[in-house]
């Protein structure tokens, strides 16, 4: 197996058209736990291990941006116990991993309404961002308390303010300008979107940004998502013909 993984890595490197930005809907933690008769939070804990693995491997491959859907605004609808367990796991993991992120030259950023998290959680994320801000390797973007529709509405509201203040001319609003009002203004659109555990939907993730993103959906549950699975997704992407509406 080890050899097979190395072989895939070599093939990816040889292909050259590496995706610059990979986004992942990390789904299936609950099902993973249920299958084992464990509480859902065990699934989330196992999911953190996969996050560490994929961050390391993405960095080694020289992927520039990795966006992970970590918590959606809709996820607040889950039982209080699960929500607080996820939030606590986020806090603990961020705190524990800051040094490792630095060792791996990873820069941490977030996307979403972070201001709605508790002060303690906001602070630890801020500390991690500050400590990693000069790192030049992988940019790890955690989509947290994120909703694609709310992001678009936030952009519209900000834009209206700027129109009212005379800072932008409504006639000049185009796709490029609009993108600059999104949370993701500093990131290119994702080239590849991976969703684990088989659901065929976007679940309100990066609605604007994924207009021409290549989709890859696997049945593998997030805690089981291996380096091999990740390489397979990238290799599949490298075979795609991205036409952007043109013909070839």
What are the DSSP calls for 109-137, one per residue?
Answer: EEES-GGGS-HHHHHHHHHHHHHHTT--S
Choose between 25 and 187: whose C-beta lies nearer to ligand IPE. 25
By CB atoms closer than 10 A (0-12, 13-18, 19+), residue 145 is buried
Q: Which residues carry out catalysis? A: 27, 75
Choose between 79 and 170: whose C-beta lies nearer to ligand IPE. 79
For residue 203, the partner it binds in ligand IPE, Mg ion, none, with Cβ less than 5 to 8 A by kind, is ligand IPE
For residue 86, the partner it binds in ligand IPE, Mg ion, none, with Cβ less than 5 to 8 A by kind, is ligand IPE
Interface residues with ligand IPE (CB under 6 A) are 25-31, 69-72, 75, 86, 197, 199, 201, 203
C-alpha distance across the termini of the chain, in Å: 38
- Can you state the angle between helices 40-60 and 80-103, rounded to 10 degrees? 20
For residue 11, the partner it binds in ligand IPE, Mg ion, none, with Cβ less than 5 to 8 A by kind, is none
Furthest C-alpha separation in the chain: 61
CB of 115 to Mg ion, least distance (A): 25
The answer to whether residue 27 forms part of the interface with Mg ion (CB under 5 A) is yes
The answer to whether residue 223 forms part of the interface with Mg ion (CB under 5 A) is no
Distances 28 to 46, 88, 97, 127, 199 between C-alpha atoms, Å:
11, 19, 23, 29, 9
The answer to whether residue 214 forms part of the interface with Mg ion (CB under 5 A) is no
The CB-nearest residue to ligand IPE is 30
Choose between 203 and 232: whose C-beta lies nearer to ligand IPE. 203
Q: Do residues 208 and 148 make contact, with C-beta atoms less than 8 angstroms apart?
A: yes
Distances 114 to 48, 62, 147 between C-alpha atoms, Å:
20, 28, 12
CB of 72 to ligand IPE, least distance (A): 4
For residue 191, the partner it binds in Mg ion, ligand IPE, none, with Cβ less than 5 to 8 A by kind, is none
Query: Given the rule CB under 5 A, which residues bind Mg ion?
Result: 27
């Amino acid at each position: 197996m080890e050899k097979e993984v190395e072989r895939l890595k070599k093939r990816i490197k040889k292909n050259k058209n590496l995706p610059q930005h990979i986004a992942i809907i990390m789904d299936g933690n609950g099902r993973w736990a249920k299958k084992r008769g464990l509480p859902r939070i065990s699934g989330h804990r196992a999911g953190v291990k996969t996050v560490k693995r994929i961050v390391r491997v993405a960095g080694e491959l020289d992927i520039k941006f990795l966006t992970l859907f970590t918590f959606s605004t809709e996820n607040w609808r889950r039982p209080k116990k699960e929500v607080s367990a996820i939030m606590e796991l986020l806090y603990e993991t961020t705190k524990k991993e800051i040094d490792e992120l630095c060792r791996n030259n990873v820069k941490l950023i977030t996307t979403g309404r972070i201001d709605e998290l508790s002060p303690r959680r906001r602070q630890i994320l801020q500390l991690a961002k500050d400590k990693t801000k000069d790192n030049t390797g992988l940019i790890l973007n955690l989509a947290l308390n994120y909703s694609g529709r709310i992001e678009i509405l936030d952009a519209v509201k900000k834009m209206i303010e700027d129109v009212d203040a005379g800072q932008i001319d409504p006639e000049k609003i185009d796709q490029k300008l609009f993108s600059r009002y999104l949370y993701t203004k500093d990131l290119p659109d994702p080239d590849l979107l991976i969703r684990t555990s088989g659901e065929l939907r976007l679940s309100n993730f990066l609605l604007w940004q994924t207009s021409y993103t290549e989709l890859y959906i696997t049945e593998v549950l997030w805690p089981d998502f291996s380096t091999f699975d990740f390489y397979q997704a990238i290799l599949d992407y490298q075979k795609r013909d991205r036409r952007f509406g043109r013909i070839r």
